[in-house]
Structures are given as structure tokens and as C-alpha cells.
Amino acid sequence: MWSNPLRGLVSRPMTSFYLLVGSALLLLVVGLVMVLSASSIDSFVANGSAFTVFLKQVKWAVLGLCAFWVAMLIRPHWYRYLAYPFLIPAVIMLAALLVNPAWGVGDHGRWLAVGPIQFQPSELAKLALVLWGADILVRKQHLLVEWRQLAIPFLPVAGIVLLLVGANDLGTMMCLLMVVAGLLWVSGVRFRLLAALGGLSLVAVVMLIGSRSYRLERVTNFLDPFADKDDAGHQSVQGLYALSTGGWWGVGLGQSRGKWEYLPEAHNDFIFASSGEELGIIGAMMVIALYGVLAYAGLRIARRVADPFQRLAAASCTIWLAGQAFINMAQVAGLLPVTGIPLPLISAGGSSLVLTMFVVGILACFARAEPAAAAALHARGPNWISRITRIPLPPLPGTSPGKSALTGRVRKPAKVTASSSGKRNNGDRVSTVGRTLTKSSPRPQARTNGVPSPPGGRK
């Protein structure tokens, strides 16, 4: 009885946008609440105020919302031109940290300090690899059946970025590996080539683990954290204790015992343990469900956009966010070794939160560019939110992406011909795209409940 109403809600043109933004904002609110709760004791001991870390996180959240707005201002087709401006500085900063570790600050020198601001170049490297990799694979879309086409230049550049990141941050390197694998899989690379690259990646990861003693210690503690629960395995054991203490409904918000200097990094890498202790299994499952909605919205965007670059970029960004969330929660639950990567949108930290909100803004920009969503936005016209934010309208199906209308201006779309109704001959789809994203390029007409077709379009 609920199937038809639910199907009607899901089929609305702006569903992807609302699901994405709604789940991201809810996760951001949950993160602020949990950072306040988990950091209050350490913050009071270190600074004399229980709100120091929380207020700093609020500032980062405001900057993150500004980054989200900036990402929405950028027109979808412009992101292809940001690949090299992001990639080149990221490689230079990563190489600088590797050549001169004294420039790095924080754990294992992963942060680069510029005056009072500290940020992780590896976070920028994630976004750079997504945009650059999607652009390269789209350019080579008809040649990906040959492994030589990947050898120039995708694999060497991706390998250099992975090694530069993995030298100081193996956890972030694992996230980058998922991004690379997602790009190759969605673009239609043969499975045997993926298997070969996976084998090489495994060998590289093993070598990087063996190169640092603390990484070997983490693997040993993962196999048996209770063997040294008072020293090397202390964080893993305390995380398990916090999760088990919460029960079904939790001990109550602000009542965590682990934050009383028992659980290290309770407001950062192990904030999921604090959430499980205070909110219980129900609260932890709600957090997981929000990440599931975020992942569903991202993959839905990747299926419905018509541009192949946007399709690859949306899929890889979604794999990045969902994969990082899985790795963080798995390490807390004892399913993976401790990697030291934050939980997206929830953990305390500035560079990760701001960049994650920028990525969510990119996905939201692509969601508004879905053919049905673009037609609905043009048919509806500008509202008070669009007038205040000055976010431009996405291009209509069949129009040149470089001439999309700004807010308040409606342009008639070009005449829709038979060649644009699902059989595009201008390179608008990646070869064999759809191995996992099975839906082909959406029709240019909006097929929605109650939303009129765009002016000039075919009925």
C-alpha cells in the first residue's frame, strides 16, 4: 500500500538533491553535538573551558557551509578545469612533506602549517585525484580496452600521489585506493586489469606497513588488542568497551565514561565509539543509516546525470565519502586496524570538514544538473533562496553548458532531436559505463509528477 506513494516521492526531480543535502546537514548537526559531548572533559583540562574544541568546530562548520555554497556557485562543467589547479599544488605539498619532514606538524608530520592555519595536503589530494582522474578517463573513454591507454598518464600520476600520501598517512592512502578503484570500475576497465592493479596495490600496502614500526604494531594489536590492553592496544580496547557499554539506548547524551581520559581521541578518530556509548545501538544505527542515505543519493546522482565527467566524479566522490565512513566505523568496531582517519562530517577537525562539505556541494551541484531536475528548476523559476544565494540555474537539456542561465533568467532550450533522446553521438557517455551504474543517460525531458516540460521542449 505504501509502494506507490513512496515511488512517487522517490521519482520527483529534486529527490537526489534533498536526500543528499538533508543527510549531510543531519550528520553535521550530529557531529557538532557529539564533539561538544566528547571533547568537554579534555577541553576543560587543557584550556579551562569545556567549549573550546566545540567552538572551534563550529567555526569550521561555518567555513564548511561557505565551501558548500562556493561549490554550488561553480557551474557543473567548470569542474573539469579545476583538475590540474588542485592536483599540482597537492603533489608539491605532499612532496615537500616527504623531502623535509620538519615542515610537517602533528602526528607523523601529516599537517602542513602556514602561519596559524594547519591543513592536510592529503585531503586536497583526494579531491584532485577525483577530478583529474575523471577528466582523463572521459578523454580516453573509447580506448580503455587497452591497458596501454591507462599507462599514459593515469596510472603513473595516480601511483605517485598514492605513494606520496602513503609515506606519511596509510589510512588516507586506502581511501585514495578506493577512489581509484571506483573510477576504473565505473569507467568500464576490464576486470582482469583491475585484479592486476589490486595485486600491485596490495604489495605496495604491505611494503608501506613494513616500513614503519608503528604500522606493524597496529596490525599486531588488531589481531589481538587485549594482549596489550594497557599500552599499545589501549585505544582499540577502550573503543570496544565504549560501544559495549551503550547497550540499545545508550547511557545518555553527555554521560559517556570513556571521555574521562579513558578513550583517546574520543572527539576525533573514535567519535563513533562515543556516539555508540551515549546514543546506544539505536543511535549508532541511525548514524549508519544517514551515511547510507548519503551514499544512495550520490549513486543516484551518478546514474541520472547526462554528462560522463559528472557521472564519474559523482560516483568516485560517493565511494570516497562512504568508504572513509566505513573504514572509520570498522576500526572502532575492531573489524580493521586503527588507521587514524576521521569520520566524515562528524569527527572534529578543520581541513577534513571543510573539504567534505565542498565535496557535498559538488554532488549537490551535479544533482541540480540532472535533466529532470534542471527542467523543474527552470519551470519553477527563481525563489527567495536562489535570489539570496545567487546560485546559477543549471543548463537545460539540449542547451550548451557554457550558456546556462543565471538565477532569474530562463533561456529556451535548443530543439530536441532524435539524436539526443538516449543515443548521443557527441561523446556524452563513457564506454561501458553502467557496470554498476546500469541506467543509461537520462532523457532530456522531465518525467515527473506534476512538473511541466521546459519551454520549447517536446510534449
Cis peptide before 344 (omega within 30 of 0): no
Can you give the pLDDT at residue 401? 57
Separation CA 93–CA 125 (nearest Å): 10
**Res. 1: pLDDT tops 50:** no
- 305 pLDDT band (50/70/90 cuts)? very high
Can you give the pLDDT at residue 208? 82
Report the C-alpha dihedral over residues 25, 289, 173, 214, rounded to 10 degrees. 110
- pLDDT tens per residue across span 370-392: 999 888 888 887 777 778 888 88
Ramachandran bin of 422, using left for φ above 0, alpha for ψ from -120 to 50, beta for the remaining angles: left
Can you give the pLDDT at residue 400? 58
Length of the chain measured in residues? 459
User: If you count DSSP H runs as helices and E runs as strands, how many of each does the chain have, helices first?
Assistant: 16, 3
- 407 pLDDT band (50/70/90 cuts)? very low
Higher pLDDT: 403 or 44? It is 44
Residues 430/308, Cβ–Cβ less than 8 Å = yes
- Dihedral pair phi/psi, residue 114, rounded to 5°: -125, 95
**Res. 359: pLDDT tops 60:** yes
**Res. 154: pLDDT tops 50:** yes
pTM above 0.85, yes or no: no
Spans of all domains in the chain:
3-367
Can you give the pLDDT at residue 144? 66
Residue 207, CA distances (Å) to 167, 295, 303 in order: 10, 32, 37
